[in-house]
Structure 1
C-alpha cells in the first residue's frame, strides 16, 4: 500500500514538472507575437510622427485658408492612424486576457488536484500513525518488511512536505495570475477610453472642416475676414456652452473660465489646463453614460435614463461605502445620484462622480482639503467644487510648475495613475485642448472681454 502511494506521489510530481515547461513554450509563442505587435506599432507611430511633423510645419506658416484645411485633413488622417493603433492594442489585450483566464482555470484545477492528493496522503499517514507497535510488528511476516514499512512511512512524510510546498507555489502563482488579469482588464479599459476620445476628436475635426468650408465658401478672402473679426470671435468664445458631465445646466465658456481662474489663483494650476482636463473627463463620462447604484453588496445598478440593469456600477469593496458617506453627508439620495456607468466591453467598474470624474475612494482622500478651501463640505457634482478637486489632484503631481512636461505628466496621472507612454494620447490631447483654450483666453483678453484677473 505504501509503495503504491509513493508511486502515485512520484507521478504527480512528474505531471507538475511537465506543466511548467508548457508555460515556457507558450511564452516563446507570445514573445514572437509581441515582437510582431511592436513592429506594427512602430510602423504606425512612424506614420503618426510624420503627419505630426507636417501639421507643425504648416501651423508655422502663414494662416491661409488652404493651410487651415490642410492642417484639419492631416489631423483627421493622424487620428485615423491612432485609432488603428489603439484597436490593435485592444485586440492584443483581449487575447492576453483570454490566455490569462484559461491559465487561471488550469492552475485552479491543479490546485484542486494537489489538495486531493494531499488529503489522501494525510489520511494514509493518519492510518499508519494510528497503528500500535505490536500491530506493526505482527502485520509483517519478516523483520525486513517491518523496516521497509518504517522507511516507506518516512518517505510518505517527505512527499507530504514536498506536496505542501508545491501546493503553496501553485496558490502563489494563481494569485499572481489573478493580479495580472485585473491589470490587463484595467489596461484595456484605458485603451477603450482613449479610443473614445480619438473618435470624438476626429469627428470634431471633420465638423470644423465642414463648417470652415461652409462659412468661407472656400474663398481665401472670406477666411481672412473671419480671422480679422476679433469682436465677433470673442463673443462666440464667451457664450459657447462649456459642456460638463453630471451637472444639470452647463455653464458658458466665459463662466467656466471665471471659475477656473479663481481656482487657479488659489492652487497655482493654469486655467487652460483645468478647462482641458474637465473637457476630456466630461467627454469620457458622456460616452459611457450615467448610472444609479442600487445594490450596495454587489455594486450593481441601473441606467439613469432607462432603468435597465447594469452590472458593476461601482466597486463594492473600494467605492460603495465612501459613496454612501459622501452622498449622505451632502443630503443626497445615494440611489438616485448619477455616477458614470462601466464600459460594457471591458468588464471593469464605473462609479466616477461629477465633472471631475473622481471615484468615491479618491474623493474621500481630498475631502478634508477641499472643505478647508471651500469652508464647507465639497460636492463632486458642484461645478466649482469639481474644479477645485481637479486642481488639487493636478497640483499634487506637479502641474503648478506650468511647464509642458509637468502638466502633461500630471494629466497622464489624472487619467491612469501613471505616465505609461502607451496612454500618451490622453496627455497629448489634454495639452492640445489646453493650447486651444489658451488662444481663446488671449483672444478674450485682446478684445477686453476678460472681466477678471487670472
Structure 2
C-alpha cells in the first residue's frame, strides 16, 4: 500500500505541476510576428501602387496613362500574391503551434487520469478491507478515516482539473479548425490572385500591341478610343468561372448591366464579384442539398442550422415546382458546408430574405436563384445595401467585405484580399465594357 501511495503521489505532483514548454511556442510566435511585419510592409507598397493607379485614372485617357495604370496594377497584384504567400505560411505555423498545444494538454490530461485512477484503486482497496485488517493497519480508527478523506479530496480536485482541461482542449481544437479553414480560404484567394495577374499581363500585352500599331502616336490611339466597343474576348478572359456555369459572356454583360442599373452600382463591380464567388465555388453546381448541405450541418453538430436551411431550400424548390434532387448546389468545401445556389451563391435562408425585393425589381412572380437575371439582381441588392451604390473604391470595398463576411467593416486578411481581388478584376472589366 505504501508503494502504491508513493506512485499516486508522484503522478499527482506531475499532474498538478505540469508546465507545457513555452520555448517552442515562443519561437513560433516570433516567426508569426515577423511575417505580420512583412505583410504590413508589403501593404505599404501596395497602397503606393494604388495611389499611382488612382492618379492615372484621374488623368485624361492617353497611351502613357493607360500603360502606366496597367503597370501599377500588375505591380500591385504581384505584391498581393507575395503577401498571400506569407499569410498562408503564417497560418500554417499557427496551425502547427495550436496542434502542439493540444498535444501538451492531452499529455497533461492523461497524467490527471492516471493519478485519479491510482487514487481510486487505493480507495477500492481500502473499501475491500475488513474492520479487523483496518484495526491492525492503523493504531486509531480516526487515522483510517483521515486517509479516506484525503483521497476523496484529491479525487474531487482531479475531477475538476480534468473538466477544466477538457474545456481548454475543446477550445484549442476549435481554434485549430478555424485556422485550417483560414488556410483553405487563403489558398483559394491566392489562386484567384494568380489568375488576376495573368489577366493583367494579357491586357498589358494588348496595350503594348496598341502602342506598336499606333507607332506611339496619340492621335491614332484617340481614334481607337473613340471607336472602341465592348471587347468581348477581353471580358471573357475575366469571367472564366461564370462561363463554367454555362453563362455566356453576352448574358453576363446584359444581366450584369441591367441589375447594376436597377440598383445604381457599377456593372463591372457586380460581374467581377459574381465571377470571384463562382471561383470560390469551384464546387458550384456539383453538390446536392442532402449530402453537401443538410448532412454537412448535422456532422458539425448544427442540427438547428441544418433544419433551417433544409426548410428554406424546400420552400424555394416547392414554389418553383422543381424536384429538389434535380437541382445542384455548391459542394461541401474543405471548410463549412455547401448548399449555395446559382450564380450569386446565396444559401437558401439568405435567398428567402431577398426574394421579395428581387420579384419587385424583375417583375418575376417566382424569383429563381438559378435564373441569371434573378441571381444577378439579388447580388446587386446585397451589394448596394453594403455600400456599392456610392460607386467609390471605399464603398465597393465595404460592400465586398459585407458580401463575404456579413460585415462591411471586416478587417480580416480574407476580407481584405477578397475585396482587392474583386476590384482588380472589376478594373479590367470596366476598361472593356
TM-score w.r.t. length of structure 2:
0.78
What residue is the counterpart of 2:382 in the other structure? 393
Instruction: Determine whether 1:277 maps to 2:273.
Output: yes
CA distance in 2 between partners of 1:126 and 1:150 (Å): 14
What residue is the counterpart of 1:88 in the other structure? 86
**Structure 2 residue aligned with 1:39, among 37, 40, 45?**
37
| RMSD (CA atoms) | 4.0
What residue is the counterpart of 2:417 in the other structure? 425
CA distance in 1 between partners of 2:271 and 2:289 (Å): 32
**Residues 356 and 77 of structure 1, relative CA distance in 2, 3 Å threshold:** same
CA distance in 1 between partners of 2:235 and 2:266 (Å): 21
Post-superposition offset of 1:29: 1.4
What residue is the counterpart of 1:248 in the other structure? 246
For residues 178-207 of structure 1, give each alpha carbon's deviation from its aligned partner in whole angstroms, at most 9, with x where no partner exists.
211121122213312221221111111111
Conserved? CA contact 1:276–1:437, under 8 Å: yes
After TM superposition, the structure 1 = structure 2 runs for residues 9-408 of structure 1, keeping only pairs within 5 Å, are 9-22=8-21, 24-61=22-59, 63-108=61-106, 110-115=108-113, 117-122=115-120, 124-125=122-123, 128=126, 135-136=130-131, 139-141=134-136, 144-217=139-212, 219-220=214-215, 224-229=219-224, 232-236=227-231, 243=239, 244=242, 247-250=245-248, 252=250, 254-261=253-260, 263-264=262-263, 271-285=267-281, 287=282, 290-293=285-288, 296=291, 322=309, 325=314, 328-329=317-318, 330-335=320-325, 337-341=327-331, 349-360=337-348, 362-363=350-351, 366=354, 376-400=365-389, 404-408=393-397
SS in 1 for 2:291: coil
CA distance in 2 between partners of 1:89 and 1:326 (Å): 41
CA distance in 1 between partners of 2:123 and 2:293 (Å): 43
**Residues 155 and 175 of structure 1, relative CA distance in 2, 3 Å threshold:** same
Conserved? CA contact 2:328–2:341, under 8 Å: yes
Post-superposition offset of 1:209: 1.5
Post-superposition offset of 1:13: 3.8
CA distance in 1 between partners of 2:277 and 2:219 (Å): 34
For residues 127-179 of structure 1, give each alpha carbon's deviation from its aligned partner in whole angstroms, at most 9, with x where no partner exists.
64576xxx336522276353222111111111111101110111111111121
Where structure 1 has 5 or more consecutive residues not aligned to the other structure, the ranges are 301-311, 442-454
Post-superposition offset of 1:110: 4.2
For residues 273-317 of structure 1, give each alpha carbon's deviation from its aligned partner in whole angstroms, at most 9, with x where no partner exists.
4333223323433x56652349738989xxxxxxxxxxx899776
What residue is the counterpart of 1:451 in the other structure? none
Where structure 2 has 5 or more consecutive residues not aligned to the other structure, the ranges are none
Conserved? CA contact 2:230–2:432, under 8 Å: no
Conserved? CA contact 1:354–1:381, under 8 Å: yes
TM-score w.r.t. length of structure 1:
0.75
| Higher mean C-alpha deviation, range 65-74 or range 328-337 | 328-337
SS in 1 for 2:19: helix
